[in-house]
Structure 1
Amino acid sequence: MRDVQQQLFSGGLSGLATTVSLQPFDLLKTRLQQGDGLTGVPKSGSSIVLRTTREVVSEHGLRGLWRGTVPSLIRNVPGVALYMTSLTQLRGFMATSSHFTSVQQHRTASGRNVNASVLPTLSMQGNLMAGATTRVAVGFLLNPFSVLKARFESNIYAYDSFCGALISIARQGPSELLRGFMASSLRDAPYAGLFVVFYEAIKKESTLLLPPSSAQESTLLHGVSAASAGAIVTLITHPFDVVKTKLQIRTEDRYGGFVRCVRTIWQQRGITGYFDGASLRLSRKVLSSAIGWAVYEGILIVFRPRWSSGSDG
């Protein structure tokens, strides 16, 4: 039970740190993705990002870049805590089965685990399944807050308060609360599964080359490994993020439903339309992965020996 509490605390703190520090990336990405191709083709590159930033700051000040932080916190703090804790628990359960166990972790002559990790070790297939399953399950539970987050970050909706917005969406029924869930699942399942695979593989190879000798070095290793994995998987899954944002924000019939939304983007923009905001999401994911997993595993490494030495009451 204490392990679960520790993992929830570590995951929640990880979600808090990444959300507050990186909310401007989410807001700008949403603004870039919310447009309708019929109203004009947005410019590509850094110019549109700078222009959008100036528009937000001129209208709302610097605080405007943090619009949507409250729903983001409500979505991400419990979301990250649940995801990381559930992932760790599921990996621990799967590690008891010979179907998902990996080879023994490499250790130094002193018996130290050079993976510098407190997380269960699984095979590539096990990591893929654990990451995808956990992410989709948590995403389903928190999808209503994902819808609110996207709408608060856009400039299409003018909600007066978080509670008022939630009530407004809830009154429209389950379909509105789960709006964009299919696109989110098609983005999150491969993202989370592949992320865990790449994260563990990069971390393993890195520790074999440069075994960390302290908690600080382990934290740095986890951050670099997570950032690298995040960059690779973000580019693979970004088109589904664009579709998800359109579904959650646009109300026109041409965006009604996953297939229709995909077709509309293709007809209006072609392949480039599926990569709107890619640079912002890439930057955000690289930083959030580095910060989030460094904080999560760092806290587990630092405090687990101290906590485990006490009673389990």
Structure 2
Amino acid sequence: MSGALSGFASTIILQPFDLLKTRIQQPDHLNKLKPSLSPQSTLVFRTARDIVQSKGFLGLWRGTTASLLRNVPGVALYFTGLNQFRAFLATSPYFAPLRAPSASSYSTSTLPKLTPQGNLLAGAVTRVAVGFLLNPISVLKARYESSLYTYNSLPQALMGIMRSGPSEVFRGAVASSLRDAPYAGIFVVFYEHIKNTMSNAVSSAPNAAGLPIPISTSAAVNSVSAASAGALATLATQPFDVLKTKMQVRSEIKYRGLLSTVSAIWRGSEVLNIVGVQQRGIAGFFDGATLRMSRKIFSSAIGWAVYEGVLVAMRSEEA
């Protein structure tokens, strides 16, 4: 319940970031010279303006229903699976912390404690498993956010994807796994480290006097920790997010395989090469990076604060 509420809140609030990111990542720069040369900030505002002019302000929330179908069960399954897997790993001497966490660490969280290796493994395995299970909904979400597809209804779109067979149902699954495994692993490691450091600092403050950390302070610690960890993990995995989006929304042959998609993004545009402009190279793998970074920072801060806050409140009531 806590995970589902977390996914619902972050999706409703931050859907425009997802929509704009997909729209910026979807173009084929073989055919569109100007966008590939535009500063990304200019492209973001221009894309947002075009959507508002054609669809109204609520057009920025296109695909919200598909996002909710993906994120509410996805976040719920991820948090539940992560908690259970971490509890399982905590029974192993290799993954259990060498020393018991301080009382301050427990006052901001009810989650099992692991070594960095355990956190890395738990985050990566859980995220990939949930992502693979919900990949059909991820494809649906990406295409609903894209301007390349016009669907009459969600059930019709989902059935169309399912009827196309495994090749469509699991489009981008490998790229998603390459993005999600390091992202989730890096995130959990940094989140736990930053959270423990901050909670220890708060509990050792002169006015703390050994008192339990207030729920409001715990929420602030969890939010700042999650936002910081989200920024670091997002930057490290951005190229795989571009690969995933290209493979899920583009239908050309060159976007059917992982290596061919990498090559297409790296080359950028034969048109650019003809007119003497350099290839896009590594820059092509960071389309939408600002939007994804912004969304992940806010969604991580909202999601983990809600998730851990609800768990702490429920445990307090039980006690």
Q: TM-score higher than 0.5 here? A: yes
Corresponding residue to 1:293 among 276, 301, 304: 304
Which residue does 2:263 correspond to in 1?
263
Deviations 1:198-245, CA, capped at 9 Å, x for gaps: 000111111121227211100110000000000011000000000000
Query: Are 1:177 and 2:166 counterparts?
Result: no
Corresponding residue to 1:159 among 151, 158, 166: 151
SS in structure 1 opposite 2:171? coil
Q: Which amino acid aligns with 2:52?
A: V
Deviations 1:139-196, CA, capped at 9 Å, x for gaps: 0110000000000001000011000000111110011010000000000000000100
Unaligned runs of 5+ in 2: 204-211, 269-279
CA shift for structure 1 position 44:
2.0
Which of 40-49 and 241-250 deviates more?
40-49
Query: Are 1:303 and 2:314 counterparts?
Result: yes
CA shift for structure 1 position 115:
5.7
Which of 125-134 and 203-212 deviates more?
203-212
CA shift for structure 1 position 69:
0.5
SS in structure 2 opposite 1:37? coil
Aligned length in residues: 297
Answer whether contact 2:105 2:199 (CA < 8 A) is retained. Answer: no
Query: Are 1:277 and 2:262 counterparts?
Result: no
Q: Which amino acid aligns with 1:202?
A: I
Q: Residues 115 and 305 (structure 1 numbering): CA distance in 2 closer, same or farther, change over 3 Å?
A: closer
Query: Are 1:168 and 2:179 counterparts?
Result: no
Q: Which amino acid aligns with 1:257?
A: G
- Separation of aligned partners in 1, 2:185 and 2:306: 20
Corresponding residue to 1:99 among 94, 103, 118: 94
Which residue does 2:277 correspond to in 1?
none
Which residue does 2:197 correspond to in 1?
205
Which residue does 2:206 correspond to in 1?
none
Answer whether contact 2:198 2:221 (CA < 8 A) is retained. Answer: yes
- Separation of aligned partners in 1, 2:245 and 2:114: 33
- Separation of aligned partners in 1, 2:121 and 2:168: 28
- Separation of aligned partners in 1, 2:101 and 2:78: 27
- Separation of aligned partners in 1, 2:84 and 2:106: 22
Deviations 1:64-87, CA, capped at 9 Å, x for gaps: 100000110000000000000100
Trace 1:95-134 onto structure 2 (pairs within 5 A): 95-107=90-102, 113=105, 116-134=108-126
CA shift for structure 1 position 256:
1.4
CA shift for structure 1 position 254:
1.4
SS in structure 2 opposite 1:39? coil
SS in structure 2 opposite 1:88? helix
- Separation of aligned partners in 2, 1:113 and 1:40: 52
- Separation of aligned partners in 2, 1:105 and 1:67: 47
Q: Which amino acid aligns with 2:59?
A: G
Deviations 1:277-305, CA, capped at 9 Å, x for gaps: 00000000000000000000011111112
- Separation of aligned partners in 1, 2:213 and 2:125: 33
Query: Are 1:19 and 2:11 counterparts?
Result: yes
Which residue does 2:142 correspond to in 1?
150
Aligned-residue sequence identity (percent) comes to 58
Answer whether contact 2:242 2:285 (CA < 8 A) is retained. Answer: yes
Answer whether contact 1:100 1:123 (CA < 8 A) is retained. Answer: yes
Q: Which amino acid aligns with 1:289?
A: S
Q: Residues 192 and 113 (structure 1 numbering): CA distance in 2 closer, same or farther, change over 3 Å?
A: closer
Which of 95-104 and 145-154 deviates more?
95-104
Corresponding residue to 2:56 among 45, 57, 61: 61
CA shift for structure 1 position 113:
4.3
SS in structure 2 opposite 1:155? coil
Query: Are 1:50 and 2:45 counterparts?
Result: yes
- Separation of aligned partners in 1, 2:265 and 2:100: 46
- Separation of aligned partners in 2, 1:127 and 1:113: 16
- Separation of aligned partners in 1, 2:167 and 2:226: 34
Which residue does 1:215 correspond to in 2?
215
- Separation of aligned partners in 2, 1:182 and 1:131: 17
CA shift for structure 1 position 105:
3.8
Which residue does 1:76 correspond to in 2?
71
Answer whether contact 1:19 1:72 (CA < 8 A) is retained. Answer: yes
TM-score with structure 2 length normalisation? 0.91
Q: Residues 105 and 117 (structure 1 numbering): CA distance in 2 closer, same or farther, change over 3 Å?
A: farther
Which residue does 2:276 correspond to in 1?
none
Which residue does 2:208 correspond to in 1?
none
Query: Are 1:34 and 2:7 counterparts?
Result: no
Answer whether contact 1:169 1:176 (CA < 8 A) is retained. Answer: yes
SS in structure 2 opposite 1:52? helix
Which residue does 1:241 correspond to in 2?
241
Which residue does 2:229 correspond to in 1?
229
